[in-house]
Amino acid sequence: MTRAERAEFVRRRLAELYPETPVPLDHNDAFTLLIAVLLSAQCTDARVNEVTPGLFALADTPELMQEVPEEEIKTAIRSCGLAPRKAKAISGLSRMLVENHGGEVPNSLDALEALPGVGHKTASVVISQAFGVPAFPVDTHIHRLAQRWGLASGKNVADTEKALKQLFPRESWNQLHLQIIFYGREFCSARGCDGRVCEICRALFPKRRSPVKTKKA
């Protein structure tokens, strides 16, 4: 198969496996999604979903969150890890949203990435899932699978994102991002597959004999 043929096989198979792609982070609007995605750094979605109800009981809008002492935010999110850094970011971005954006979450990458604690991946998730803007956020699952499936070199996350955007139709990016994550967690995890075990790896490379050594994100 060519790279383009592999991409089309992946797109079709994932659409069959995951016709519905609910966002795995519980949220009510763009602001609560932004906070949940920020908290998910080096933390599982399940843990974030355990933490956010308590945090959002304190405040669930930028106007209210900017009034919550940073120490209280830190206490509420402590089990997510990196709590001091994340609490500072949540407090800071809430103030910036109020001061610079009228309390609304902006729908542009540049504006989101200017917020404290918001990197390119977080911003991409927010614009894609909250606003429907085509984006292809690359997490560790996507970076790993793109290499195992021969879709990207694995040089770095930016290179993987660029490669996937070139291979897949723009209108598929937002759903495909989640489909690849779901598949990676269920069938092609870091330890559960080495490029020769799961269905898609075997279909794409039936003659592969050696494990694929993937580069980390």
Nearest to 114 by CA among 100, 132, 130: 100
Which of 45, 139, 159, 194 is labelled catalytic? 139
DSSP, residue by residue, 196-211: SSSHHHHHH-TT--S-
Using an 8 Å Cβ cutoff, are 139 and 179 in contact? Answer: no
Write the single-letter amino acid at 168: F
Which helix (H) or strand (E) element contains residue 8?
Answer: helix 3-17
Cβ-contact 66, 31 below 8 angstroms: no
Contact 105, 31 (CB under 8 A): yes
* 74 in catalytic set: no
Contacts of 165 (CB under 8 A, 6+ apart): 136, 173
Buried b (16+ CB within 10 A) or exposed e, 181-204: bbbbeebbeeeebbbeebebbeeb
139 is an active site residue: yes
DSSP class of residue 212? -
| Residues with active-site annotation | 121, 139
